[in-house]
Structure 1
Amino acid sequence: MFPESLKADEMITVKLVNYIDNRSELNFQFKGEYYTLDPILSLQEGVNYSLTATKNNDLILKGGGKTLRIKESLVLIPSKYDYAHRINVNDRAYLGAMEFLIEDKKFIRPVNQLPLEDYLKGVVPNEVFPSWGLETLKAQTLAARTYAATHTSEIIDDTIRYQVYGGYTWYKNSTKAVEETRGEVITYQNKPINAFYSASNGGITENNAHVWDGKSLPYLPVKKDPYDPIHPWKFNLHAVQIPLNTINWDKPLWWKETVEKNQDITSSMKSWLQRNGYPGDIKILSIPHFELSNKRHESERRIKGSITIQFLHRLAEGTILFEQLVLDDVAIDHIRPLIGGTIFKSYLVDSLEKSEGTYTMKGRGFGHGVGMSQWGAHIMGQRGNSYKEIIQFYYPGTSITDINNE
């Protein structure tokens, strides 16, 4: 059953990460009247303000000819909620309230709070193309609203980890899709579903248990998708990235001037290694072994694989070590981050072959493939299907429920 407080005007809280990144300084200004929780702190409309994080976990606020030190956080609340009141953070507009706080003792993290329906107006055009048909946009809206409705009690962020949220960057058709489906969510046995979706399933959907373990959900089955445009992809990876015999060890700038052949992929490898026990500078030398097991799920997606990476690891004091990472017969989701999700686009891999020192992987789809295919929904909409038919195809056995009537 739905929580009693869950209505279309429910508030949602979003950490701003996607467009802000990790910054120790940012700028903001606002339109309309805003007040703070500090009765003696008054800020002015239209003034360009800057915030800087200090080592003492304080914020330095500058603007309007003033410099102030703020303890803990700065909260800005509009005198009334409407579209004339908005805050621009690093030139991107947001509605509602905003809190600026210090994260990890060095970054400023804005946290936006606003009504659920207006949050969705900033999500839908960032999850699919706002130029797509209205029925597809409505289907995306229901999936996004259902997802958000099950996360109102927590703080989410604005990245693909949850849903991409662009603030007060709205488009006519996507806004119309939100307004015309106000309060509608997807339910199964009178409870909001886990409304997963991805860009493209490659022609066959995936079950949630194959991706995230846990209980297999009946409304997320494995089945052929005749609407998904498949989206084939491939990438090449040189087995040898930096031949050791080409390095001039006596040259003062050899480290800086030595680069890998596939820098788009090796940059992901370096980031992964640095997060997993190898801090410092890294040069990828070679990938002497890379293969995928032939074992597959019912959805044809791969389950396991192996990869070996040899690299140079430069420590802080300048010592350089030869290191080797060996992942042997591991779950494939341990390998994909090493390549990068925008390159190794899905686990629906048709082939991985090595020829003349180069690995070539070919596959289909983009994303986990669970639930709705956004491109498939687009094709269904083009063919005249309603948003309710799109929802029923991708989440079979579910219902559409208005949370305002619960």
Structure 2
Amino acid sequence: MLKTAPTELRVLLQETEGLLVVNCPSGAVISDDSDTPLYTVPAGWDLVFKRNEYGVLAVNGEWLRCTWVRIKPREDGDGPPRVTVKGSPYRGSLTVRSTTTGTLQAINRIEVEDYLRGVLPKETYANWPPEALKSQAVVSRSYALARMSDDPDAAFHLRADTSSQVYGGYFAEDPRTNDAVAATAGEVLAYGGRIVTTFFSSCCGGHTAAIDDIWPNVERRPFFSGVECDWCTASTSHDWEYTLDFDRLAHALAAAGYTTESPTGLRLRTNARTGRVRYVVFSLGSGDELELPGDEFRRLVGYGELKSTYFDIARVTEGGLVLEGHGYGHGVGLCQWGSRGMAEAGFTYKEIINHYYPGAGIAQWDALWPMEPRPTS
């Protein structure tokens, strides 16, 4: 159980089997895994890390007696202390870690609110209305802290890409999104005394998805049951068409190990209330059928090609089908374009959040500690 509210997130920035290069614009102190200072790094130096077969680290050719180190940048009066990884500077400090799988990891250790400064400009548009930006701040904070609370002692809690939330670091920050972070400081979405893992996507296309529409084995909660949305019509992805080619689909099914037979047709099993395709049933040449979850079908076709599982069959073509669909993304939780539309119509960020996550409420995250482990069933 977490006894006190943590203030630091750990975000994986890079993982490599080769060399890992870190730069310290203002200089830094390198400490070992017992927090004993090892080196003082001059301003602007590159630190080149490698590992041996036993996982022991070396920096700039000098072997250390540890498998991970912490790099704490110094203050220089020119902005906040920061470290640079792959050309991008980040607030906070950095852990360089040798893993048991033979890789090196660069992990940013950063305060929650500073992390959000680097997330919001990457996950939304800074020129959107302030209330939409505030709703994104609460949602992104909730997502990050829920992930952290699942395993607070993990080497890292989040990745810096779309598998978690896109995190751009210091250079990504924008005063408008920074204001949204500050205006909602510490606020998260909560249900039953726990922080909600607040999924969100670009555009729902008119109705958000129930969570089990997308991930059938996940228990549905009231705030993930799906709601109507009349606010996202400005998105260019609100309505779309996609031509599905059966030959290409056959290659994708074979490559994934599902079947070597070519599909001759398909039918959809849809949630009539949300419009989401829950399962796609393929007719095969042998007369057999193959059933896949809708989101797995979308993954096989390509998430960038088939924009959502909110679609229907429009017409048959030579060797395929034309699908008519709505929205972009999985559709669970906040509709980002819908939040923009609601903000433009005068709704507050709290009203926006209450619409997309019915039954949950906004709370200060440190007031939710101590927290019991999240149920596994």
Distance 1:141 1:340, change over 3 A: same
Cα distance in 2 for residues equivalent to 1:333 and 1:43: 48
Distance 1:26 1:307, change over 3 A: farther
Pick the aligned partner of 1:299 from 274, 289, 313. 274
Number of aligned residue pairs = 350
**Structure 1 contact 292–302 (Cα < 8 Å) conserved:** no
Deviating more after overlay: 129-138 vs 156-165 = 156-165
Pick the aligned partner of 2:245 from 238, 254, 260. 238
Task: Specify every segment of 5 or more residues in structure 2 that has no aligned partner in the other structure, as ranges.
Answer: 369-377
Cα distance in 2 for residues equivalent to 1:3 and 1:60: 34
Greater CA radius of gyration, 1 or 2? 1
**Structure 2 contact 313–321 (Cα < 8 Å) conserved:** no
**Structure 2 contact 214–294 (Cα < 8 Å) conserved:** no
Cα distance in 2 for residues equivalent to 1:371 and 1:111: 28
Q: Work out whether 1:24 is the aligned partner of 2:31.
A: no
Q: Deviations over 1:10-51 (max 9, x none)?
A: 1111112xxx46452332211334212244433222012333
In the TM superposition, what is the alpha-carbon distance from 1:363 to its structure 2 partner?
Answer: 1.2
Q: Work out whether 1:361 is the aligned partner of 2:323.
A: yes
Q: Name the aligned partner's letter for residue 5 of structure 1.
A: T
Please give the residue correspondences for 1:72-83 in structure 2 after superposition, counting only pairs within 5 Å: 72-78=67-73, 83=79
**Structure 2 contact 23–83 (Cα < 8 Å) conserved:** yes
Pick the aligned partner of 2:169 from 167, 170, 192. 167
In the TM superposition, what is the alpha-carbon distance from 1:238 to its structure 2 partner?
Answer: 3.4
Distance 1:181 1:337, change over 3 A: same
Cα distance in 2 for residues equivalent to 1:127 and 1:47: 32
Q: Work out whether 1:36 is the aligned partner of 2:30.
A: yes
In the TM superposition, what is the alpha-carbon distance from 1:377 to its structure 2 partner?
Answer: 0.2
Distance 1:364 1:13, change over 3 A: same
Q: Name the aligned partner's letter for residue 14 of structure 1.
A: V
Cα distance in 2 for residues equivalent to 1:227 and 1:78: 44
Name the TM-score, length of structure 2 as normaliser: 0.81
Distance 1:52 1:369, change over 3 A: same
**Structure 1 contact 32–84 (Cα < 8 Å) conserved:** no
In the TM superposition, what is the alpha-carbon distance from 1:214 to its structure 2 partner?
Answer: 3.6
Distance 1:73 1:386, change over 3 A: same
Distance 1:98 1:308, change over 3 A: farther
Cα distance in 2 for residues equivalent to 1:108 and 1:277: 32
Deviating more after overlay: 386-395 vs 202-211 = 202-211
Q: Deviations over 1:107-138 (max 9, x none)?
A: 32211111111111111111111221211010
Please give the residue correspondences for 1:198-237 in structure 2 after superposition, counting only pairs within 5 Å: 198-212=201-215, 213-229=217-233, 231-237=238-244
Q: Deviations over 1:215-259 (max 9, x none)?
A: 321223333211122622333343346xxxxxxxxxxxxxxxxxx
Match of 2:352 in 1: 390
Distance 1:175 1:304, change over 3 A: same
Deviating more after overlay: 51-60 vs 94-103 = 51-60
**Structure 2 contact 24–73 (Cα < 8 Å) conserved:** no
In the TM superposition, what is the alpha-carbon distance from 1:331 to its structure 2 partner?
Answer: 2.0
Distance 1:80 1:287, change over 3 A: farther
Please give the residue correspondences for 1:259-298 in structure 2 after superposition, counting only pairs within 5 Å: 269=252, 273=255, 288-289=263-264, 291-298=266-273
Q: Deviations over 1:329-362 (max 9, x none)?
A: 2222332221111112211112264412243322
Aligned residues with identical type, % of pairs? 25
Q: Deviations over 1:248-295 (max 9, x none)?
A: xxxxxxxxxxxxxx9xx97xx49x93xx569xxxxxx99544523244
**Secondary structure of 1:336 counterpart:** helix
Match of 2:46 in 1: 48
**Secondary structure of 1:151 counterpart:** helix
**Structure 1 contact 33–85 (Cα < 8 Å) conserved:** no
Distance 1:362 1:36, change over 3 A: same
Q: Name the aligned partner's letter for residue 26 of structure 2.
A: G
**Structure 1 contact 228–373 (Cα < 8 Å) conserved:** yes
